[in-house]
Structure 1
Amino acid sequence: MQILGIWDGHDAGACIVEDGKIKVAINDERLSRRKLDVGFPKRSIEACLNYLNLKPTDISIVATTTTDFSKTLTRLFPSLKERYYLFRRRKVEKPRFTRFQHFLKYKLTSYGNFFGVCKKVSEWLIKKELKKMGFENFKLYFVDHHLAHAASACFTSGMQKAICITLDGVGDALSGSINIFENNEIKRISSISARDSIGIFFEQVTNLLGFRELEDEGKVMCMADYSYPIDDSKNKFIDFFSVNGLNMKAKFSTSKSYKLIEKVVWNNPRERVAYMAQRVLEKNVLELFRNAIEKLGIKDVCWAGGVASNIKLNRIIRLYSGLKNWFVFPHMGDGGLAVGSALYVSNLLYGTKSHRINDVYFGIDYDENFIESEIKKHNELYYERRSDIDELFAELICKGNYVFWFQGRMEYGPRALGNRSILAPADSEEVKDLLNIKVKEREWYQPFCPSMLEEDANNILDDYDGIPDRFMTMGYMVRKDAKNATRAVVNVDLSARPQMVGEENKKYRKLIEHVKKENGYGIILNTSFNIHGEPIVCSPDDAIRTMLKTKTKYLALGDFFVELKE
């Protein structure tokens, strides 16, 4: 039985799950070309149906999530959602009452379901939108926000018994949960309230440092490495949170903490503020994990929610001696809620079991005839079909070029993992700088990431534990003797966020193998195929448009070698 999963909030999207397996999944941003797009995911729903040759009437079960007051209000008045989206992404002039708008947001998101009223209103509104699209005779299931996060990790981890921890900003009046996953059932053990949200704390720091909340938290994490270490006794944020057993408590309300963070930002360099915030996150979340493992007596852990995107934090958790196995859902933020909702309902109705996902190529793809027809629209492009496209592009990389690489089904989630990627030599800082100037326009302190052959990880990474991370969800330290080979893909502290490539992507793996033959290391620079401020490319047209806009010389579109004419 096919289940449609939808999410209509921040980073909206849809998926179709069949027999507990993800058949297709996509987020609206890839189709609308608005990064982290919000609203009812009509485009994603249509893309999922079209990919599987289904009609709306073929779907009888729909799963979604989150019925708190704030979410219901934005469903009732979509203009509020759009206004906040533009405000958050700084696409409008700064409002006069910025602080008040943030305070109002924090207050509204802390309210729950109001005795079921919000759920009924949300149900009516979502059903109305689905019926407009032609859906008939379907049943709509709502899954609690943090239960959907937990399900996304539990049912894709392949674990039989594990602790599942979720942490994010807020959803359904909670900011986190601790659960036991056993016999394919999720049992909640502890909840963390919206008031005690460490996710909102990090979001506030991000905003007050001049970045976009819900989007640029990774920049704060990277900036922290440029500060001198600060002793906890001098950390202005150190007492903002405390962990007691399986609960986390905030000393101040979200509104009060915003004001206090504002004062700290005013009096301290940005990198120092970032360091203090990152330290508070690592200290408290690690303690929560440690307490859960010790108290519940389970050493396998899976985890999801926006906080799980912090790879520096994930590295510290990974190295905790009490942990045996762990799994981070690759689309850990709210963009993965459609999948979590659908997987939970699949288990609820049909008893489907957890299975380990080997890749996240759940998006849409394009056949060779369509790709060629798109290339032919542009006289400024030379192209030819090549049977050795992987070897050819490996040679271009080894000669010091950056290249655009577009293959097969698009990745699901925030990371480019070899199907919608920009590739370059991992050892060339010059090419890295060129890529930054012409295409990415990243902050100077943000490193690019590497893709490496999984069998070479032990020769490149100092703290590799033998368990390959195929989804770029973890931080590692690079060995000093591999420093020269990784100059373009490490942070200032020699840390990296690698993708370890096995047999799940054969064409991409062959490309890296050819690079290894040339330089001795099976590693390349891999960053997402997009220009600054845009989502990762989805279609051949997106790829070609990006090529022309950036005047990039080489593009692989499937087996087509595409070159910009002089």
Structure 2
Amino acid sequence: MNVLGVWDGHDSGAALLVDGLLRCALNEERFTRRKLEIRFPSRSIAACLSSAGLEPGHVDVVAVSTSDPAKTLGRWWPASKERHYAVRRRAVRPGALASLTRAAKYRITEWSPGRISTALSRMALRRELANHGLAHARLQIVDHHEAHAAAAAWASGFDACTVITIDGLGDGLSATISAFRDGALERVAASPARSSLGVFFEHVTSLLNMRELEDEGKVMALADYAAPIPDAANPLLALVDVRDGVIVTTRPGHALKGTLAAIQWQYANEQFAYMAQRVVERVSCALARDAVRLTGLPRVALSGGVVSNVKATRHVRLMRDIEDVYVFPHMGDGGLPVGAATVAAVGLGSPVKLDLADLGLGPAYDDEAILTAIRDAGFEPTRVADPAGRVADLLESGRIVLWFQGGMEYGPRALGHRSVLARPDLVGVRDRLNLVLKRRVWYQPFCPSMLESEGPRLLADWTGSRNRAMTMAYEVLPEHRDRLAGVISVDGTCRPQFVADGERSAFAAVLHQARRRWGAGVVLNTSMNIHGEPLVCSPAEALDVFRRSGADALAIGGYCLEPAGRVAGLAVAQGTTHS
């Protein structure tokens, strides 16, 4: 049974289940080099089939998510979503009718699917699939939030749990609560699209002159720099509530921006961000509390774009009513292909096992391909017997190293396959990395990768490492904050990746070297890309980023490039630590 999951909207992509096992999952942006690509995922589909040695004719089922009128309109009129994409990414100016088209867009996206929109979506998808040799395959359209929920439920490892999805909107809904038991999902509550916590935060992001659907993490980071405002004095908290497992807003999403703008006028940007962040935290916890009460299941699996807010998911994890929490690693719409394929496979009686212990589900390249790319790029290849040891030498001396190993990561985080590495305790190195290579806002913190055994030693609120893929915030113990000065926010929290101590990989070897050299099995780990571009996929792209970035070295496969004339990394003595 070969089931292909497809998503052709924001952050489009594909995933392939073969006899219930996830063989490949990736997103189109990695091939087109357009961040959060919206076009049909032609290259992702081809890569999925190639990874399993399949031809299009071998696919039994294609599962595609979402058939609401807005999505259907985009399938029949691709120029409409292309225009919105260009405006949102600041590639073109909005135009004279921008306010009207934006209001219309939010109204249409609130509409639920019907027989007509579903039939039209099916026709458009059939036409597109035929162009890819998939006309013979059975087409199944899967509900947007059911796909989110299925991905979280089957990947969680829980036998039974409460599943919560919190998204912008899709198929007429913005959030759902389901009970997962005996390999089946049962929805028990749903929030309408007009009352969306995700749309609320999108409006906040836009009002702060950031890109909605992309820069919400910056809003969360900016909130840490505000003077705290008591909840009783926070006017935004009155705009969103939870009643018996359903999110309720005082005004529909399409009409909420004006209310928010009137409030924003009275506050500094960081205070406005703080107040909005508190809304996300409070509403997420209230929804989780109601969800566990409604299902009677104290373990929780989360998915949907809003749960990328790691501060909010931390609050959920620490609730008394909650026994354990799992966040699906690709929680946004880019993760829908895995969920859609799961729904289809389960419906056909195929036992599904989503093992996401290793998220290197994308293309990998052998040393022969890497060597060819190095020579084509004009670099002198230098093979090293111990890449982890050489990289540890460089990091110890304050250098910044690009790290390209194994299969490309699935999802939004670099997890030791397509990463930029540095010491975690040198603020000077962090600042150089932020300003010169990553070129992003100064207040957005970098993240650590750490050995799992460091969790209980370094983190004040350690509750286990179920969330290994940078999907949860943790508080660093005050006595260890100097060790992690380059990877914590001003409030003392970090968003770690946990690597099993017994993992036999070159990346784990770097972390063991780190523990011996600077007293903590931790490195700064951020994605290998220039700001605004997708994570790199191929060796050629890694070499291009190396050329443009000013990083000190590139460890790629069995090679380590350290060209003469590169600006040397900051010496250890120059690095200042967190005070």
Fold agreement, TM-score > 0.5:
yes
Deviation at 1:468, TM superposition (A): 4.6
**What are the residue-to-residue correspondences of 1:316-395 with 2, within 5 Å?**
316-379=315-378, 381-395=379-393
CA deviations 1:111-142 (Å, max 9, x no partner) are 1223x111111111111111112224210011
Check whether the contact 2:21–2:352 (CA below 8 A) recurs between aligned residues.
no
Tell me the CA shift for residue 353 of structure 1.
4.1
Superposition deviation, residue 395 in structure 1: 1.0
| Aligned match of 1:483 | 481
* 2:433 alignment partner, one of 429, 435, 459: 435
Structure 2, unmatched stretches of 5+, are 566-579
2:271 maps to 272
In structure 1, the residue matched to 2:149 is 150
Give the 3-state SS of the residue equivalent to 1:385 in structure 2.
coil
CA distance in structure 2 between the partners assigned to 1:470 and 1:438 by the alignment: 29
Select between 265-274 and 491-500 the one with higher mean Cα deviation. Answer: 265-274
What displacement does 1:297 show?
1.7
Alignment correspondent of 1:423: 421
Q: Is the 8 A contact 1:383 1:563 kept in 2?
A: no
- AA matched with 1:548: R
Q: Which residue of 2 aligns with 1:83?
A: 83
Looking at structure 2, the residues matched to 444 and 100 of structure 1 have their Cα atoms a distance apart, in angstroms, of 34
Distance (whole Å) between structure 1 residues aligned to residue 388 and residue 466 of structure 2: 23
Aligned to 2:569: none
Provide the TM-score with structure 2 as the length reference: 0.96
SS class of match (2:237): coil
Q: Indicate the residue corresponding to 1:302 in structure 2.
A: 301
Give the aligned partner of residue 194 of structure 2. 195
**Which letter maps to 2:199?**
I
Q: Deviations over 1:519-550 (max 9, x none)?
A: 11111100000001100000000000001112
Match of residue 239 from structure 1: 238
Following the alignment from structure 1 to structure 2, what is the Cα–Cα distance between the partners of residues 404 and 18?
33
Structure 2 Cα separation of the partners of residues 564 and 49 of structure 1: 38
Structure 1 residue 470: Cα displacement: 1.2
1:445-481 alpha-carbon deviations (Å, 9 max, x no partner): 1000001110011111111113353110000111111
Instruction: Return the letter of the residue paired with 2:50.
Output: N
- Whole-Å Cα distance in 2 between the matches of residues 353 and 556 of structure 1? 36
Partners of 1:184 and 1:354 within 8 A in 2: no
The equivalences for 1:39-188 within 5 A come to: 39-114=39-114, 116-188=115-187
Conservation of the 8 A alpha-carbon contact between 1:551 and 1:564: no
| 1:230 alignment counterpart | 229
Q: What is the CA distance between 1:387 and its match in structure 2? A: 2.4
Deviations 1:83-127 (A, max 9, x none): 01101111101322332222111100011223x111111111111
Aligned residue for 1:515, secondary structure, equals: helix
Q: CA deviation at 1:155?
A: 1.0
Contact 1:206 1:216 in 2 (8 A): yes
Contact 2:148–2:304 (CA under 8 A) maintained in structure 1 = yes
Q: Do the aligned partners of residues 504 and 80 (structure 1) sit closer, same or farther apart at CA in structure 2, a change above 3 Å counting?
A: farther
Q: What percentage of aligned pairs have identical amino acids?
A: 41
Supply the distance in 2 between the matched residues of 1:63 and 1:468 (Cα, whole angstroms).
28
1:501 alignment partner AA: V
Mapped to 2, the partners of 1:296 and 1:26 lie a distance apart of 33
Is the 1:382–1:565 Cα contact (8 Å) retained in structure 2?
Answer: no
User: Once the 2 structures are TM-superposed, how far is the Cα of residue 425 of structure 1 from its aligned partner?
Assistant: 0.4
Equivalent in the alignment of 1:543: 542
Q: Which residue of 2 aligns with 1:496?
A: 494
Cα separation, 2, equivalents of 1:457 and 1:182: 31
Cα shift readout 1:233-266 (whole Å, capped 9, x = no counterpart): 2212111011111111111122331101111222
The reply to whether residue 445 of structure 1 matches residue 457 of structure 2 is no
Alignment match, 1:21: 21
The alignment partner of 1:376 has SS state of helix
Name the SS of the counterpart of 1:238 in structure 2: helix
Residue of structure 1 equivalent to 2:452: 454
For 1:295 and 1:378, how far apart are their aligned partners in 2? 58
CA distance in 2, matches of 1:54, 1:355: 20
Which amino acid in structure 2 is aligned with residue 547 of structure 1? F
Is the alpha carbon distance of 1:351 and 1:132 closer, same or farther for their aligned partners in structure 2, counting shifts above 3 Å? closer
For the residue of structure 1 that corresponds to 2:491, the secondary structure is coil
Amino acid at match of 1:225: D
Amino acid in the other structure paired with 1:61:
V
The answer on whether the counterparts of 1:184 and 1:353 sit within 8 Å (CA) in structure 2 is no
SS of residue matched to 1:195: coil
1:505 shift after superposition = 6.1
Q: Residue deviations 1:337-359, cap 9 Å, x none?
A: 01100011111102414555312
Query: Larger deviation: 241-250 or 533-542?
Result: 241-250
8 Å Cα contact 1:426/1:488 also seen in 2:
yes
Q: 1:293 to 1:356 in 2, by over 3 A?
A: farther
Would you say the 8 A contact 2:22–2:354 is kept in 1?
A: no
CA contact (8 A) 2:155 2:354 kept: yes
What residue in structure 2 maps to residue 212 of structure 1?
211
Change (3 A) 1:468 1:288: closer
Q: CA deviation at 1:319?
A: 0.4
Q: How far 1:384 sits from its partner (Å)?
A: 1.7
What is the alpha-carbon distance in structure 1 between the residues aligned to residue 157 and residue 463 of structure 2? 19
- The alpha carbon displacement at 1:378 in A equals 2.8
Give distance in 1, aligned partners of 2:54 and 2:412.
Answer: 26
Normalising to structure 1: TM-score of the pair? 0.98
- Whole-Å separation in 2 of the counterparts to 1:145 and 1:545: 37
Matches within 5 A, 1:513-532: 513-532=512-531
The answer (yes or no) to whether the contact 2:465–2:498 under 8 Å persists in 1 is no
Corresponding residue pairs, total: 564
Deviation at 1:325, TM superposition (A): 1.9
SS at match of 1:485: coil
Whether contact under 8 Å (1:473, 1:497) holds in the other structure is yes
Q: Hey, what's the Cα distance between the residues in 2 that align with 1:307 and 1:9?
A: 17
CA RMSD of aligned residues (A): 1.2
